[in-house]
Amino acid sequence: MKKSILVLALIVFSTSISTAQEFVQFGAKGGVNFANITGDDFDTESRTGFNVGLVAEIPVANRFSIQPEVFYSAQGFDLAEIDQDNVFDIDDNIEYQLDYINVPVLAKIYFTDGLSIQAGPSFNFKVNEEVDTMPTEDGGDTDLEDYSKVKDFEFGGAVGLEYKFDGGFFVQGRYSHGFTKLIDDIDAHNSVIQAGIGFMF
């Protein structure tokens, strides 16, 4: 199911580009994530990760564009610091890694020639889920794919600001939130603050 939705999203992405090839700009972006889980009864800390991927901008009208993107996003959370005297004798935190391929389709409105606001839906596909504890001979990672209850697909939204310089270089800040629950019957949602840079070719 998730593969079908991802393929459909990529087809929409490529079709939108093909209808406006003479106007569209392509680019690449990367940056840092500060990810966490929001919801009831959660005592977690932010996980610092990264994001990297591709972006396109399709002008629709004066000062208005559509910006589809496809990027890898390292998300999840850290558990609160653990007492070093505990019986498990593990590292000072446990990192829960939830990594996604995100496909946002954003409306982009320019306030000035370079400054814009972006907002729109995001279709997110889980590609990795691990628990990372203290280093061991096998690296300390435990793959949860076989018994995870976290859903493979998430529908979310994103809003942010971007400034694009004349040469194509841009900087952006963004907040992304998962609207669908990570696990059925549990109030848990992805929450990610992103800061990054990129270049439009």
For residue 95, give the CATH number of its domain: 2.40.160.20
Q: Looking at the predicted structure, is the pLDDT value of residue 130 above 50?
A: yes
State yes or no: pLDDT of 142 exceeds 50.
yes
More confident residue, 80 or 61: 61
**Residue 108 confidence (pLDDT) above 80:** yes
The whole-model pTM stands at: 0.80
- pLDDT tens for 40-55 read 867 788 999 999 999 9
Q: With 60 as the cut, is the pLDDT of residue 66 above it? A: yes
Residue 3 has pLDDT above 50, yes or no: yes
3-class SS of residue 11: helix
HEC states along 86-122? CCCCCCCCCEEEEEEEEEEEEEEEECCCCEEEEEEEE
Residue 91: give the domain boundaries: 2-200
> What is the chain's mean pLDDT, rounded?
84
Provide the CB-side half-sphere exposure for 138 (13 A, CA). 6
Is residue 115's pLDDT more than 80?
Answer: yes
| C-alpha closest to that of 77 among 43, 52, 125 | 43
> Which ranges of the chain would DSSP assign to H, the alpha helix?
2-18
Angstrom distance (rounded) from CA 14 to CA 26: 12
Q: Domain total for the chain?
A: 1
User: Given this model, what pLDDT does residue 138 score?
Assistant: 52
